[in-house]
Structure 1
Amino acid sequence: MNLHRRYLVLLALRWLPVGLCIPILVLLPLSRGLTLAETGLAASLQGFVVLALELPTGGLSDSWGRRPTLVLAASVAVVSMSLLAVADSFALFAIVYVLQGIYRALDSGPLESWYVDVSLAADPSVKLERGLSAGGTVIGLAIGAGALATGGLVAWVEMPGIPTLVVPVLAGLCVQVTGLAAIVLLVREPPHPDGRRRLLASLRDVPRAITDGVRVVRRSRVLLALVAVELCWGFGMVTFEVLMPVRLSELLGGTEEAAAVTGPASAVAWLVAAAGAAVIPLLTARVGVAVTAGVLRIAHGVAVVGMGLLAGPAGVLTGYLATYLVHGASNPVHMTLLHREVSGENRSTVMSINSMMMQPAGALGMILLTALATGTSVSTAIVVGAVVLALAAPLYLPAIRAERRPRVPV
């Protein structure tokens, strides 16, 4: 199996459990006796853990290696999913989300870094956007297929002695175990220049890796601008992840009616995002990666405005699907520009810095946009979030100028 296929298989196995669990993540703890407030508090622990560990785990991937970091991450995911299947108290669900935070932090970057490192080693002139767009397509398909599969499992599959909502968790656990085995079998990376990498020595090297990664970002106008894009992106994502169901409930007359529509719409949205990622090579071949990225930021804002202002449920859902179409297309081009500016020894750390910016931006967007929705209207808050999304477009200008200059391959 060639590198490209191995990468796509590993991505599918990594994201399919996410799709399987998305529809029941809130319902499962509620069915086990937790209140909605307790469920939200337990889930919030994941974000805090990711924020705290994002940079250290990125440095660990650069110092220890992609393969051992991925194996450790997948092992933590298996433990977390196993505990989720039996958790029946606030404390156990809190542990589940802490483990999920550790897993997300460890998993943020090493697989993509491994793919990019090996691709560039084989061909320094390789068009990264093709592989990354294919990866984005697989992610959207895996999440969407998983969410649809959960609907079928809950509706039609009965296992004696096992609650209905636990069946998708067990299915996700099986996929997680398969993914761990696939990492062991399929991920191969070049020997480290310093010989065999031991965990304790790599941990001691993490501060240096973080410092080097931060220094790389500070010295690059392109990287600084790309990281700033994540601030706008994280703030604006609140519009379609949090406010869209609220807007839909206003139009449909209740939260239950909105929930019945939002579940299938979310699954379809991820399939649409996969289609968006699939068309990226066609766009970038015509106008370039950086210009495509800037245009997509404007298109993202326009789509979100449609979600906030179009009339009726059909109008909101049309804007919602258009938003995910652009959302799926945007990530591969953004990450391609990021990878162009870094070398292998700093790649995961820089990716972690990029990812980490979304956490505080999303938290700020959650606070400000929900407050604005309460004080004015949900539509107004959605439009404000859309404007912030579109304001990221000029931040791609340094990347556009860099793309037009002759480049020396990394």
Structure 2
Amino acid sequence: MTARQTYHRYLVLVALRWLPVGLWVPITVLLPLDRGLTLAEAGLAAALQGFVVLALELPTGGLSDSWGRRPVLLAAAGVAIASMSLVLVADTFALFAVVYLFQGVYRALDSGPLDAWYVDAALAENPDARLERGLGAGGTVLGLAVAAGALTSGGIVAWVSVPGIPTLVLPVILGLVVQVAGLVAIALLVHEPPHPSGRRRFLPSLRQVPSVIADGVRIVRGSRILACLLAVELFWGFGMVTFETLLPVHLSDLLGSTERAAAVMGPAGAAGWLAAAAGAALAPLLAARLGVALTAGLLRIVHGITVVGMGLLAGPAGALTGYLAAYLVHGGSNPVHLTLLHREVANDHRSTVVSMNSMMSQPAGAIGLISLTALATATSPSAAIVVGAVVLALAAPLYLPAMRAERRRPVAV
């Protein structure tokens, strides 16, 4: 494949991967409640996904490096289809718990191999390829796909009626169709070089996972740049609680009603993903002028500033303006951060290190959720948002080692 073919296939696969997520987001809580679960039961079932991802993130990253990107992507798509199929009939806490268990396995398998496949192919053709361009385009497509899915799901629930099928199930059916299309697309579009042994077998690959993980840990321990990049995720995971969890609470205070806040957050969430898509499109342009590492560090600081605005700007309009600006920067930060990460890792351990990067945000997010919600209860949501914003901005100096290394790199074309 040429670099251009890989790029276009990558974008198609990203769209098919994230469109079902957008379709599912608006009904995540509503469907279990409609099936008779309490809010607490729905939340407890959903929490299972996070624990499964945390447990499997690193082993599945190692599996992607030892077994191959394509088989892991196919396995992930198969688990996703099983999970979404079960949603069609789930009507008890136990069944929804199994749904989220499958979702956790899917998210762990899916975390990294698609980006790793694209980066492997791009670097194979041009070792100095500007990865931020492709990853930025992927981030743009991701945001557009989630926003389109959310808007489509909302429109289906509001205006579409099919006799004999509950309205909330219709987005699930459409999402299932898209996931099947995604599985077929992976089978047809993802190609990778032959394994050194001549074939890829699951059990031998599985036995290699512990050694691949150990090698990945050694690589990170031996690289100051990688260690700092992974540390960024601690600050990032902690600070994301501000715009993912605290904004609706802040809005309910400003609007005087949780119902009004919920009504506003639906379209605001879709707009946020569109802003993230725009940020992912703009970041490579900024990186071309300033450098990837400097761009990443500046965006950390700007991200903190936008979140401060979300907490302190007057009225609901001010909070939502800050929210959209925060998502704009959030969308731009991811491709430049991943570009720096991929630069430091060879193909054999790429998914493992990306999984380690993803893992760092999990405990940090949990700590942020506990501490910032407690602070919001003791003081105010605005105060907690400002504290989270400061933590986000404090990650900026961690890009200095990557910045110094980038200055020594030859100019990419």
TM-score higher than 0.5: yes
Amino acid of the residue matched to residue 285 of structure 1?
A
CA RMSD for the aligned pairs? 1.0
| 1:238 matched to 2:241 | yes
Q: Write the distance in 1 (CA, Å) between the matches of 2:148 and 2:286.
A: 26
Compute the displacement of 1:320 (Å).
0.3
SS of the residue corresponding to residue 91 of structure 2 reads coil
Report how far residue 406 of structure 1 moved.
3.1
Matching residue of 2:202:
199
Q: Deviations over 1:106-149 (max 9, x none)?
A: 00000000000011001111100000000000000000010010
Q: Counterparts in 2 of 1:246-285, with a 5 A limit?
A: 246-285=249-288
Report the equivalent of 1:305: 308
Cα deviation for residue 285 of structure 1 reads 1.1
Q: What are the superposed Cα offsets for residues 138-165 of structure 1, whole Å, 9 maximum, x if unpaired?
A: 0000000100101110011111111111
How many Å separate the matches in 2 of 1:102 and 1:258?
32
Structure 1 residue ranges (4+ consecutive) displaced by more than 4 angstroms after TM superposition: none
| Distance in 2 between residues matched to 1:354 and 1:407, nearest whole Å | 26
1:21 to 18, 21, 24: 24
Partner of 2:386: 383
Letter in 2 for 1:267: A
Check 1:289–1:297 CA distance in 2 against 1; reply closer, same or farther (3 A cut). Answer: same
- Report the TM-score, using the length of structure 2 for normalisation: 0.98
* Conservation of the 8 A alpha-carbon contact between 2:24 and 2:172: yes
1:295 corresponds to which residue? 298
Aligned to 1:393, which of 391, 396, 411? 396
Tell me how far apart the structure 1 counterparts of residues 288 and 410 of structure 2 sit (CA, whole Å).
17
* Corresponding residue number in structure 2 for 1:146: 149
User: Residue 81 in 1 paired to residue 84 in 2?
Assistant: yes
Superposed displacement of residue 311, structure 1? 0.7
Q: Which amino acid aligns with 1:18?
A: V
User: What is the number of equivalent residue pairs in this alignment?
Assistant: 409
The aligned counterpart of 1:38 is: 41
Tell me, in whole angstroms, the C-alpha distance in 1 between the residues paired with 2:375 and 2:144: 34
Equivalent position of 2:324 in the other structure: 321
Please, which runs of 5 or more residues in structure 2 have no aligned partner? none
2:52 is matched by which residue type in structure 1? V
Q: Is the 8 A contact 2:284 2:336 kept in 1?
A: no
Cα deviation per residue 1:8-58 (whole Å; 9 max; x = unaligned)? Answer: 000000000000000000010011110111011000000000000000000
- For the residue of structure 2 that corresponds to 1:86, the secondary structure is coil
User: Which string of whole-angstrom CA distances, capped at 9 and with x for unpartnered residues, describes residues 224-266 of structure 1?
Assistant: 0000000000000000000000000111111110000001000
Please say which of residues 400-409 and 351-360 is displaced more in the overlay: 400-409
Quote the offset at 1:179 in angstroms. Answer: 0.2
3-state DSSP class of the match of 1:188? coil
Partner of 1:58: 61
Determine whether 1:134 maps to 2:130. Answer: no
The correspondence of residues 97-246 of structure 1 with structure 2, limited to 5 A, is: 97-246=100-249
Amino acid at match of 2:62: G
What letter corresponds to residue 245 of structure 1 in structure 2?
A: P
After superposition, give the CA deviation of every residue in 1:332-371 in whole Å (9 maximum; x if it has no partner). Answer: 0000000000000000000000000010000000000000
SS of 2:371's partner is helix
Partner amino acid for 2:375?
A: L
| 2:20–2:179 CA contact under 8 A, matched in 1 | yes
- How much has 1:189 moved relative to structure 2? 0.2
Q: Percent of pairs identical after alignment?
A: 74
Give the aligned residue type for 1:84: V
After superposition, what is the alpha-carbon deviation per residue over 1:185-243, rounded to whole angstroms, capped at 9, x for unaligned? 00000001122010000110000110011111110000000000000000000000000
